[in-house]
Amino acid sequence: MAHPRTLVLAASLGLAFSSMTHAAPASPTVQAAQAANPFLKVSPLPLQYPQFDLIRDEHFAPAFQAGMAEHLKEVAQIAGNKAAPTFDNTIVALEKSGSLLTRVATTFSNLHATNTNDTLDAVDQEMAPKLAAHSDAIHLNPQLFKRVETLYAQRAKAGLDAESKHLLEKYYEDFVRAGAKLSAADKEKLKALNAEIATLESAFTQKVLKELNASALVLDKREELAGLPENAINAAATAAKERGLDGKYVIALQNTTGQPALGELTNPQVRARLMAASLARGSHGGEFDTQDTVKRIAKARAEQAVLLGYENFAAYSLADQTAKNPSNVNQLLAELAKPAVDNAKREGADLEKIAGGPITAADWQFYTDKVRAQRYAFDEKQLKPYFELNSVLENGVFFAATKLYGITFKERKDLPVYNPDVRTFDVIDANGKPLAIFLFDMYARGNKQGGAWMNEYVSQSSLLGTRPVVANHLNIPKPPAGEPTLLTFDEVTTAFHEFGHALHGMFSNVKYPRFSGTNVPRDFVEYPSQVNEMWAVWPEVLANYAKHYKTGAPMPKELLDKVTASGKFNKGFVTTEYLAASLLDQKWHQIKPNEVPTDVLAFEAAALKEAGVDYALVPPRYRTTYFSHSFSGGYSAGYYGYLWAEKLDADSVVWFKENGGLLRKNGDWFRKTLLSRGGTADAMELFRNFRGRDAVIEPLLERRGLNKK
């Protein structure tokens, strides 16, 4: 995932704050507190790296206030400029504005996702509607829009370079999509809806995270954890002790429906309890129930879309994506649904044979490992000793990047971090010059959002003279002190995936911050990261990092061969659970305001049945009630994007293989034509520049095992 939910920039508070500019001077105590706020000045650390050692929770609210006030003042000067609008005095000026607000909003959004607490949750709840209003105050400013509209009408004769012309077009599109052409009355309606949506999304995020922690499975006896490796059992004991449950064991949940421990727990009753706890999240009443929040978000988004002239929210959301409209997305998902479910049902039949009878969704992963062991003579337990975290990172992820792009990494201990487990690295370009700073936050925590993602603290821009500070976040269970961190193969792949996003940010070479790094259409942003997954199993890379954590012995070739041979194994399950979630995301966002259901779970069940993906053994990867991507994570009506991007990814992997694989010339070409370009041109144009043609779907069908009847 490219980003967790990011805060929108906004302004009712900014307006109120600006009205206080002629108030009496602040007291010496208040002045001292303001001066100590690290956000009020650009960080003096390398590449403007955040001063985590100085940042305190109480700094955020006043920094937001100051940032919004400053931004509105800058925007007012641009809008009120008596000179005729020019690209420089309007568009470039807007690109340069809001630096303080960007600084605090970016850092807050990142820390709220990775290291939250009750204070930050409260700040998020308070600021979400105010920031939405701030965005409205800018985009719905008629004086400002008139300047943008005038420049847009004159763009053909303005003599702008390609990137500047594209920027002007995007600014005009942003304003129109934000409601700049609405009547005054409708603008007021839109402002209210935007504030409501921002507040509800914040509430959804917090409920999901809190229930994720509250729903952890508590076990009384060690034997109930039979099947788990010793370090996982020790970690469960440590987790229980941290909760004040000495002598018990706690299996923490991840935000996906499936849970890693389901593949190893031998007790079917414990597996059933774990799956039941996962599936029930957000839907069984109480303070963390999200059903009402979901309905309110769906209704408000639908009303927002209709107000802006679209049939539904999906139509609005997809209009500026590469997919363009819901019909194209529906067609892709429908074409794949039946072959995916057919594949999954064949896999399910195989599992029931080895189980000796019917199984449930809680048993799928457990018997999958047994079928894999029977068919390919290996299971996940054989792999994990060869996937030690540091080796995966430095000898795998970094090694592949060095071979492909010539960049190198040097860990540094002098930069402050927000959690002692976070590691920082200087990234040096092939020419020996500093390229970026990379943060690696690998472990799961109770105050960290689930899943994995990349974000940026500082984005590259030649206009602003900034270089990237980029972070990757995983949710790997932390072992007890002194024990190694051994990864599953999925976690290894995720590490490579997220670093693909990091490369997209680090290699950015654009002028305007609007186009930096991963600022591309949402259904394109996953493409470079998915390409980077290929190196996880590339023989030269795998041989370099897949070494036994105790002996240093390389993974035996026969085991490597079995991993490769099993590449299409369980793809029916993987594709079906993903499609089910993608279809739910579309269903919720293709309804009209008067079609919002009263019963969330009944709506979900009917949607899955209608789409033909209601296979009980394979529930959606995310159910509606904890579907953070869709209801608070920036992927609303966009979860299909992983599959949409995979079509491009699978075709690109063919290109790399046809051209020799892990070679500098290949990496340099991918970097030059695509990774460095950010959002400076149409996304599919960038793909064609790299690939030499449009993508074809056959590599995707082959990869997913969907090209066979």
Percent of the chain surpassing pLDDT 70: 95
- For residue 278, the tally of other CB atoms under 10 A from its CB is 24
Q: Where are the alpha helices (H) located in 448-488, listed in sequence order?
A: none
Residue 498 annotated as catalytic? yes
Q: CA 262, 267, 273: angle at the middle one, nearest 5?
A: 60
pLDDT at 11 over 60: no
The torsion region of residue 692 among left (phi > 0), alpha (psi -120 to 50) and beta comes to left
- Distance, in Å, from the CA atom of 519 to the CA atom of 538, rounded to the nearest integer, reads 29
Residue (of 126, 140, 75) closest to 307 by Cα position = 140
Catalytic residue among 264, 456, 491, 498: 498
The whole-number pLDDT of residue 439 equals: 98
End-to-end CA distance of the chain: 32
Tokens of 107: 């850092």
Whole-number pLDDT of residue 638: 96
Answer whether 599's CB lies under 8 Å from 607's CB: no
Report the alpha-carbon distance of residue 559 to residue 377 in Å, rounded.
Answer: 9
Contacts 24+ apart (CB under 8 A), 439-442: 439/469, 439/470, 439/471, 439/472, 440/393, 440/471, 440/472, 441/114, 441/471, 441/472, 441/473, 441/474, 442/389, 442/473, 442/474, 442/476, 442/485
Token pair, residue 379, equals: 């299971």
Q: What is the DSSP letter of 394?
A: I
Contact 43, 49 (CB under 8 A): yes
| Distances, alpha carbon 390 to alpha carbons 79, 423, 443, 542, in Å | 52, 11, 12, 14
**Average pLDDT value for residue range 189-209:** 96
Concatenated DSSP letters for 195-223? HHHHHHHHHHHHHHHHHHHHTPEEES-GG
Q: What is the pLDDT of residue 706?
A: 79
Under the banding of pLDDT at 50, 70 and 90, the label for residue 568 is confident
**Angle at Cα 669 formed by Cα 667 and Cα 672, nearest 5°?**
105
Q: What is the pLDDT of residue 701?
A: 87
**What pLDDT does residue 380 have?**
77
615 SS3 class? coil
Rounded CA-CA distance 632/200 in Å is 8
Rounded to an integer, the average pLDDT of 365-370 is: 93
Average pLDDT, the chain: 93
Mean pLDDT, residues 276-286 taken together: 95
Q: What is the pLDDT of residues 527-548, one digit of tens each?
A: 999 999 999 999 999 999 999 9
| DSSP-assigned beta bridge partners for residue 610 | none
Taking the C-alpha atoms of residue 250 and residue 253, their distance in angstroms, rounded to an integer, is: 9
Query: Is 29 a residue whose pLDDT tops 50?
Result: no
What is the tens place of the pLDDT at every residue in 96-126? 999 999 999 999 999 999 999 999 999 999 9
Which residue from 577, 603, 641, 628 is spatially nearest to 259, judged by alpha carbons? 577
Please give the share of the chain, as a percent, with pLDDT higher than 90: 87
pLDDT band with cut points at 50, 70 and 90 for residue 44: very high
Give yes or no for residue 657 having a pLDDT over 80. yes
Q: What is the mean pLDDT of residues 549-554?
A: 96
| pLDDT tier at 381, thresholds 50, 70, 90 | confident
Q: Which of 16-25, 262-271, 632-641, 687-696 has the lowest mean pLDDT?
A: 16-25
pLDDT digits (tens, 9 = 90+) for 384-413: 999 999 999 999 999 999 999 999 999 999
* Interval 324-335 mean pLDDT: 95
The answer, yes or no, to whether residue 92 has pLDDT greater than 70, is yes
Residues ≥6 apart with Cβ < 8 Å to 154: none
325, containing H or E segment: none
* Separation between Cα atoms, residue 579 and residue 709, nearest integer Å: 19
Of the two residues 566 and 219, the one the predictor is more confident about is 219
d(CA 519, CA 6): 13
Look up the pTM and report it.
Answer: 0.89
